[in-house]
Amino acid sequence: MTRLRVSLSLGAASTLLFFANGASAQSGTTDFDVPQFYGRGKNTSVLERDRSEYQAIGVHAGAFTVYPKLNVGVSSTDNVYPGANTAALKNKSDQYATIAPSVFVASDWSRHSLSGSASVLRQEYSKFSTENSTGWDVRGNARLDVHADSYINLGGDAQRVYEARGSQNSISTASKPIPLDTQGAYVRGLYSADRVRTAVDLDYRNFDYKNVPGALFEDTRDFEQKRASLRADFALSPDTAIFAKVAGAQNKYRQGTSTGVITDKRDSSEFRALTGANFDLSDVARGEIGVGYVSRDYDSVFFKDVKGVAVAAKIEYFPTQLITVTGVAQRSVQDAAFSRSGGYFQNTVSVSADYELRRNFIVSAAAGYERDEFQGVDRSDKVANVGLGARYLVNRSFGIGASVSYADRKSSGAAATIGPQFNVTRIGLSLVFQR
């Protein structure tokens, strides 16, 4: 399992470089994940396929194996400041280099496991040095095997990431990317017996946005988040199961944001319920479709509550053993960052295809669409993106990737001037070295 994980990181390196909007951060609000397959062993996607001759072997250190890796890349963008509202900053092109050393350590025990990782991501621009950034990530995980497929996971992490320019909540006047420091811890338990599978998740995360010139009130976005969820699956057959999931979250902000009347905190509580089915049909498809209800209630009367339909779905289709087509759809609630809105519905759909042209040569294509519906104000954002990528695994230690991506964002409504509007194209090349 450890070796597969490392091999996939090599195969996906170029995609991560080019489909990402630089060193970026999520909006930092509750996002109950798109379904992850727990696997019945009937299908294997192109990216999951075992390629033992191209897998990292690592360095053995007692009961542990250490996997060092170095990812380097060069990229070009035709819009360094997406979302900028001044003519002097619009449509500025530049090239930048990326260097990302990392190390992953995992135990070799037959039962239970310990693992940890550390990484650094440095981006260096040729002309616009204000966009240079250095992010980092440290995390650890312990797995306690109870019996058979039942286990308990304990873990934690700390990281520094940067909010992507042009994202929903980015500040167009910021002189440089806004740093976000986060720390978190979690406990996850899974119990499987006969036809029943039950999972419990508890986690805590702290978000700390840093001020930069031109964005001096980022402290109003700092908050703590607590989440809990319970899920139960019941197998109708070896191929199909139905499930029900309930989850809750609390966001507690340290400071308030001005609503024009008084200073209010964007504290909230969220409830989410999903029900649906997952399946794994041999040589055809696998996936999960969940539909339900989500409600985020804000403590302050100046922020409108967000309530409505929730969706979380992911399907993988296998037209041949060499092609995997993946579709994802999600409807969730996110917090806004400007004073007149509490939150918004984030609606996303995407489709991607991975083609194994040769065992060590994978070509990928992806397209996505996002619509953000802000509550309490007349604003709607639309984002469309497409991309192409290729990855060539030379041997166990070396891989090459190349990709091109395009994104277009528009904002409409009476409050549209608050939202970023732009398009951006990125092209690049990446090299991965691993042991």
Q: Which of 270, 264, 412 is nearest to 340 (CA)?
A: 264
Domain ranges of the chain: 2-434
Q: Strands 306-320, 268-281: parallel, antiparallel or unpaired by DSSP? A: unpaired
Q: Which of 33, 5, 8 is nearest to 141 (CA)?
A: 5
Q: Which of 26, 32, 4, 326 is nearest to 199 (CA)?
A: 32
| 115: Cβ contacts below 8 Å, ≥ 6 apart | 2, 104, 105, 106, 107, 140, 141
Q: Which two tokens stand for residue 106?
A: 């995992």
Alpha-carbon distance 98 to 428, whole Å? 10
Alpha-carbon distance 220 to 116, whole Å? 32
Q: Where are the beta strands (DSSP E) in 359-421?
A: 361-374, 380-393, 398-412
Alpha-carbon distance 219 to 72, whole Å? 33
Alpha-carbon distance 87 to 75, whole Å? 24
Beta bridge partners of 353: 325, 365
Q: Of 2.40.30, 2.40.160, 3.40.50, 1.10.10, which CATH number belongs to 2-434? A: 2.40.160
| 192: Cβ contacts below 8 Å, ≥ 6 apart | 148, 149, 150, 198
Cβ proximity of 105 and 96 under 8 Å: no
Q: Which two tokens stand for residue 114?
A: 């310990």
Widest Cα–Cα separation across the chain: 65
Tell if the pTM clears 0.85, that is, is over it. yes
Q: What is the pLDDT along the chain (435 residues), one digit of tens a residue?
A: 333 333 333 333 333 333 333 333 444 334 455 566 566 888 999 999 999 999 999 999 999 999 999 999 999 999 999 877 677 778 899 999 999 999 999 999 999 999 999 999 999 999 999 999 999 999 999 999 998 889 999 999 999 999 988 887 878 788 899 999 999 999 999 999 889 999 999 999 999 999 999 888 888 889 999 999 999 999 999 999 999 999 999 999 998 765 444 467 889 999 999 999 999 999 899 999 999 999 999 998 888 999 999 999 999 999 999 999 999 999 999 998 776 788 999 999 999 999 999 999 999 999 999 999 998 888 899 999 999 999 999 999 999 999 999 999 998 888 766 677 899 999 999 999 999
Alpha-carbon distance 210 to 370, whole Å? 27
